[in-house]
Every structure is written in C-alpha cells, then in structure tokens.
Amino acid sequence: MSLGSEDHKKAEPIVAMIAGLTSRSFLAFALTAVALPACSEAPIEWADQERASATEAVGSVQEPVLEAGNIYGNGLAAKTVVLTYDDGPDAHTLELAQYLSQQSIKATFFINGRRICKAWTGDVCTTTMEMRPCNDGQSQAPVDVPVYYNESILDQVIALGHRIANHTTDHCHLKGQDNPADFEFEVKSTQDIIDRHICDGLLLFRAPFGDWDGQASSIAKGFPGLDKLVGPINWDVDGADWECFQKGTSVQACGDKYLSILNNRPNQNGIFLHHDRLEFNVGSDGPVKLAQYLVPKLKEQGYAFTTLDELLDHTPTGPLGCPVPMGGAGGMAGAAGAAGSGGAAGGGGSGGSAGVPLGGSAGMSTAGFGGGGAGGAGGVPPVMTAAGTAPYVPPSAAEDDGSCGLAHGSAREWGAVPILAALGLLLGRRRRHG
C-alpha cells in the first residue's frame, strides 16, 4: 500500500516521535549497559564474595551422599566410558586437558592439595600447603626437587571443560583412620581449595587407593563442610599406568591392557583410572601419550565418552567454574594465548601476568577486562608449567593496583560510571513519561 502526500504529512509526527523514542531508548540502554560498580581504594573482594555465596548455595541444595561404599560405573550405558585422572597437577596436566578437550572429552581430575603452592615470590614457591606424614607410613614416593603449582592452573583445567575434585592432601590411607583431626585435615584442606573453583553443586571425592569404609564415612560426615561431598568415586578399568611407566612398559602395551580390561567387562563400560602425575615418573608426558593412543582406539571400537555428572544424574546449580577475580589471578586472559583464526594472542591481565586463556570468534585487544583475549576461534590456552605460571593471590589478599582488573581504568575514573548509568535511566524515564 502506498501513501499519498496528505498521508505522509500525517505520518511525519508519528515517525519523528518513534525516532525520538528509539534514540533515547538506545542511549539509555547504552549508558546503562556500561554501568559497573565503582571501584574503591580497598582491595577487591567481590569475587571472593561471589565464590562464598556460590559455595553456600552448594551446601544448601546438595544432599549429603558420602557413601559407606564406593561408587562405580556399572550404571553407565553399554560401551560408554568416563575418564578420570589422579594425583595431579603435574607438568603435563594442561597439555593432557587440552588434548582431551580437543577430542570433545570431559574428564575429572582428582587433585592432591599438596601440589598447590600457597605463596610465591616471583616464580619461586616460598610457602607450600601444610603437609602431614601419613600415620600408616605409606606416603607417596619422595622426589628430589618437588614442583608446586599455581592455583590458577585449576581454573585453566576447568576452562577446558573438565572437573576438578578431591583426592586428599597427602594421599594417605583413610580406611581405619583413628585420628579424626588428621582425617579432617587430609580431606578438608584440599576441599577448601576446590570450593574456590567449583560452583555447579557437584563436589566429588575419591579416596586414595580406593580405601574406604563405614568408619571413614561416619568421620567425614561429622565435620562441617565434608558432608556435602559426593563419593567416594572408585573405578572399573585400571591398567596401572603408574606401573607401566615405572617398569618401562610401552605406551601401546599399557593402553592395550586398559582395552582388554574394558572389553572383558559384561557391558563394556566403566570409569577409567589414570594418573596425570605418575608417582615414580614425576613430570613425565606419559599420561598424554597414553591418552593419545587410547582415545582414537576407543573411538574406533565404537565407545562413547561421558562424565561423572551424567553417571550421577547431576543437575547443575550454577556454572562449573567459580568467578575468576579480575586482576588478582591474572584476569580472564593469558599472557600467551594461542592465536586462532582471526585473532591475535592476548596480553596479561591487569594485576596478574597469567590467567585463563579463552578462545573467541575474534581476538580481543590488550585493553579488555583483565587484559587481552586469547586467540580467535579454535584458540587454545598455552601449556604452562610451574615456572611459567603466575602466582595465585586470593582477591582479599591482593594488592589493589587501582585498576580493578580493567586495563587503563583507575578507581577514580571508573567511579563515574554509575553516574552515567543514572543518566541513562533518567533519559529512559523521560521517554516513558512523554
């Protein structure tokens, strides 16, 4: 239908009114959209508060399911497997996590808290986590030069789609544990770390050696914060990778051992037990090579991969990973994110030199939230060893550099943003009232 000249004249005021409303709405939206909380001169604590509230939510919605017995993978569908890794992190944990992610596999990494460094001076770990000797005298084999890892490595593993979970601090036997204080320390000190990084309501636990009984379960349920754990998670397919590499068994022979165990199970399903840190070959890339042999073989034989979340029929109560502090742990961008198509590597986050690299459809500049973005589509985080990982500093203890994790944005500069937001809302109100 066409309009005559008279119709055009009648329509002009309406068009003008719509244009005015649209422009004001857009301005109101634009100004409100950039509104951010004003930064204070005090250390940034918002991320700690969000993590704390998320953890509280987990405790309130998740029923205690720390069983007297172990949880196995018998309930998995036929020809379906779950990959799990114990005792890390180690030198090649991120490389392993990257490979699995590239293969669209989500694994669970059961960590020992003692691998995490508590305080750093530069790249040197100056304060380790507290450790205790196992009361049965069966501690893991000592190493000449222990390597400790920045806590931010856990965020990097999670960013690749994997779950981290509790495997105690010192890898001691818990069955028959007659000292409740030692028992609490072994489980809780590592859980305190995990609570800062897992926020979807599923907090998993695996007992060292699979060693667990009713007494251990009763002790755990007697301590606040431990009755929220799910487990113990055991395993069905164990080819003893740690022993393979200790004895010099080839990757192929070790992998075939796992396949033989799996193929002889009634439903050819189960939870795989691997180690990203090999007790007698610390720092070895053997776990990566074993995965690179096993995964294609499993796919060729028609196996499907799933997660412990699916096995347990878990409904998430939030995102898998907890909010990462802007700045404190290096922001959301890594110091050397690998470039993907259309994007360049990003710079370090304000307040930290290495964070969690995330791929996007286009590379971000070095002046974004927490620093530059990682590469474009297909970009993956770099492998970072202990020496190349920036110190993890909890936000409450971080020194405030005035940037609030925003490059080139001081506290005073960003303190004006809520005023812009208020102006945006005012424009919106004027629009609504004529």
Q: Does 134 share its domain with 92?
A: yes
Q: How far is CA 19 from CA 14, 22, 27, 310, 328, in A?
A: 9, 5, 12, 51, 44
Residue 10 domain-assigned (yes or no): no
Last residue of a domain, one of 266, 281, 311: 311
Query: Same structural domain for residues 342 and 278?
Result: no
Residues 393 and 265 in one domain: no
117-121 and 108-111 strand pairing: unpaired
Beta strands, E only, 98-213: 108-111, 117-121, 124-128, 163-166
pLDDT at 349 > cutoff 60: no
CATH number for 152:
3.20.20.370
Q: What integer pLDDT is reported at residue 222 of this predicted model? A: 84
Q: Is the pLDDT of residue 382 over 80?
A: no
Look at residue 192 and tell me whether its pLDDT is greater than 50.
yes
Domain contains 253: yes
Specify the higher pLDDT residue, 12 or 58.
Answer: 12
Each residue of 193-205: pLDDT tens digit? Answer: 999 999 999 999 9
Going by pLDDT thresholds of 50, 70 and 90, the confidence category of residue 140 is: confident
In the predicted model, what is the mean pLDDT of the chain? 70
DSSP annotation of 88: E
Other Cβ atoms less than 10 A from the Cβ of 317: the count is 15
User: Does residue 9 fall inside a structural domain?
Assistant: no
Domain assignment present for residue 11? The answer is no
Residues in the chain: 434
pLDDT score for 326: 57
Which region among 58-62, 114-118, 334-338, 424-428 has the lowest average model confidence (pLDDT)?
A: 58-62
Predicted local distance difference test score (pLDDT) of residue 282: 92
Its pTM stands at: 0.66
Mean pLDDT of 378-400: 34
Q: Are residues 247 and 348 in the same domain?
A: no
The answer as to whether 89 is a domain residue is yes
Q: Which residues make Cβ contacts (< 8 Å) with residue 127, sequence separation at least 6?
A: 117, 118, 119
**Same domain, yes or no: 275 and 423:** no
| Confidence band of 274 (pLDDT split at 50, 70, 90) | very high
Q: Looking at the structure, tell me whether residues 260 and 367 fall in a common domain.
A: no
pLDDT-wise least confident of 74-83, 131-140, 245-254: 131-140
Report pLDDT for 176: 66
Half-sphere exposure of residue 308: CA atoms within 13 angstroms, side-chain side: 28
Instruction: Tell me how far apart the alpha carbons of residues 204 and 223 are, in angstroms, rounded to a whole number.
Output: 16
Claim to verify: residue 152 and residue 265 sit in the same structural domain: yes
% of the chain at pLDDT higher than 70:
59
Provide the pLDDT for residue 249: 97
Domain membership flag for residue 13: no
Residue 134's pLDDT is what?
A: 83
- Note if the bond before 232 is cis, omega within 30 degrees: yes
Shared domain for 292 and 393, answered yes or no, is no
Same domain (yes/no): 351, 284? no
Domain count of the fold of the chain? 3
Q: Which of 5-9, 48-52, 79-83, 396-400 bottoms out in mean pLDDT, i.e. has the lowest?
A: 396-400
Q: Is residue 317 one of the residues assigned to a domain?
A: no
Same domain? For 148 and 234 the reply is yes
List alpha helices for 34-71, DSSP H. 46-61
Domain limits at 426?
A: 20-38+415-434
Residue 207: pLDDT above 90?
yes
Closest to 411 in 3D by CA, of 350, 356, 358, 360: 350
Distance CA 239, CA 244 (A): 8
Q: Which run of H or E residues covers position 29?
A: helix 5-33
Same domain, 66 and 135: yes
Establish if 404 belongs to a structural domain: yes
pLDDT computed for residue 50 by the predictor? 35
SS3 for 119?
strand
Are 349 and 298 within one domain? no
